[in-house]
Amino acid sequence: MDPFLTGEDQAMLHGEGGEAQALAMRVLLGMARATGARRMIDISGAHIDGTLYLGRASLDFATRLRDGGGRVAVPTTLNVSSLDLLHPDLFLGDDPTRSAALNMMSAYLDMGASPTWTCAPYQLADRPGFGDRVAWGESNAIVFANSVLGARTPRFGDFADMAAAITGRAPEFGLYLERHRRARVRFDVSRIAEKARLTDEFFAVLGFLVGRGAGSEVPAVTGIESASEDQLKVLGAGAATSGAVGMIHVVGITPEAPTLASAAGGIAPRLVRVTPDAINRAYRALSSTDAEDLRTVNLGTPHYSARQIARLQHLLAGRRIHPDVTLYVNTGRDVLASSAEIVKRLEDAGVVFVTDTCTYVTPILPTGPGVAMTDSAKWAYYAPGNLGVDVVFGSTSDCVESAVGGRVVREKRPW
């Protein structure tokens, strides 16, 4: 059954607002039919995931919307692209790919989107508030918006997010609806040592474990007494990588989970008790090798925050990166600008900053022997397939010590 369309929806569908709006409404109508949505709703913002050049279709879609008169109807931010416009020499791909990526980026800017080029739009000064309905792509951003900000967005895929941005409308389905935001599986971490539950790497590994265990269900996590936004960021990123998770309740911390009962809507979720052995297995699964010959270290997937960049400076403690290793930090251009003094000191120490993109999705890493190390569950999961590299996962401290020492160094984990 087709969803109810308002007169304005019908006008856009029939091309009264131009070719781009008509195409966008056709995309959204197809999405509504597929999801069983009963109506279209207004959105207050969008974040566009389809900004990576992934072949001719991605460029053709963007340019067709632009050439059809497309303009965003709501504030719209852009996810990572295939190029670092601030450091163009980092790109090691071919010229045709560079040209196509630039054309696609220009198309989105021509339609009025903001040149944010970050996978962490929640780190921008202007971000959604509690209850705001937005249309966000990018898996980690979706989890953060729903879980930490209390905004509402289902998982929007490429093309559908831009269709919503151009019309200002979206099918009402999934996590827009209260009944789909209730926790159906509970991961209790109270058996993990308290010291371990405070570390950033624990949140990354826990997220990876939660995603595999929850699939597409909404999970709740109990047994965590405190968590920073950065820790919640890596938790959500890990869960959205290994599963189809779009929201996580951290009981007592995230805004819709003051209690387990409120997070679950009064229905007891199935219980998964997280053991030290389970965490250790997930930790080991994030590495594809035990080799110690190190080539690169990759931090910031999702993009590093200003706090994480400051912590990196503290961990480096005035030392230099080993000459045989390149340490990359992926971050947003807004964060880079706000951390300029620290960034300069880190660059002087040999750190290479990457903006507008990420080292696991575009050709930046040098070829040659040696493993790639990361503190990101997402980077560790995708890089072997995307880049053909062997990966070692470790804490941020492990990554820094390895980058300084020139070989993989990992402390014994406290769980």
In terms of C-beta density within 10 A (0-12 exposed, 13-18 middle, 19 or more buried), how is residue 266 classed? exposed
CA distance 199 to 152: 28
- Which pLDDT score, from 0 to 100, does residue 329 have? 98
pLDDT at 1 over 90: no
Nearest-angstrom CA–CA distance, 61 and 23: 10
**Tally of CB atoms within 10 A around 36:** 11
- Cite the residue boundaries of each domain of the chain with CATH code 3.30.499.10: 7-178, 287-405
Q: Please tell me whether residue 326 adopts helix, strand or coil conformation.
A: strand
**Which pLDDT does position 347 carry in this prediction?**
98
Tell me what the mean pLDDT of segment 121-129 comes to. Answer: 97
Q: Quick one: pLDDT at residue 158? A: 92
Q: Judge whether residue 81 has pLDDT over 80.
A: yes
Q: Which residues, 6 or more positions from 60, have their beta carbon under 8 angstroms from its beta carbon?
A: none
Cα–Cα dist 30/34, whole Å: 6
Q: Residue 128: which residues within 8 A CB-CB, separation 6 or more?
A: 44, 45, 134, 145, 149, 151
pLDDT digits 0-9 by tens, 178-233: 999 999 999 999 999 998 898 999 999 999 999 999 999 999 999 999 999 999 99
414 pLDDT band, cuts 50/70/90, is confident
Contact status, residue 236 vs residue 147, Cβ threshold 8 Å: yes
Residue-wise pLDDT for 158-182, tens only, equals 999 999 999 999 999 999 999 999 9
Domain with residues 7-178, CATH architecture: 2-Layer Sandwich (3.30)
Q: Which two tokens stand for residue 299?
A: 């931090």
Task: Please give the Cα distance from 207 to 240 (Å, whole number).
Answer: 8
End-to-end C-alpha distance for the chain, whole angstroms: 51
Q: What is the pTM of this model?
A: 0.97
**What is the phi/psi pair of residue 273, to 5°?**
-90, 115
In b/e form, how buried is each residue of 84-98, taking b as 16+ CB within 10 angstroms?
A: bbebeebbeeeeebe
Q: Are 86 and 356 in contact (CB under 8 A)?
A: yes
Confidence of residue 412 (pLDDT cuts 50, 70, 90): confident
Round to whole Å and give the CA distance between 216 and 194.
28
Phi/psi for 352 (5° steps) reads: -110, 120
CB 334 within 8 A of CB 304: no
If you ran DSSP here, which 8-state letter would residue 367 be given? P
pLDDT in tens, 218-236: 999 999 999 999 999 999 9
Q: Are the CB atoms for 168 and 42 separated by under 8 Å?
A: yes
CA distance 64 to 256: 40
Fold assignment, 287-405: Aconitase; domain 3 (3.30.499)
Q: What is the pLDDT of residue 2?
A: 85
Number of H helices, E strands in the chain: 16, 14
Query: Which residue stretches of 260-305 are H helix?
Result: 260-264, 276-285
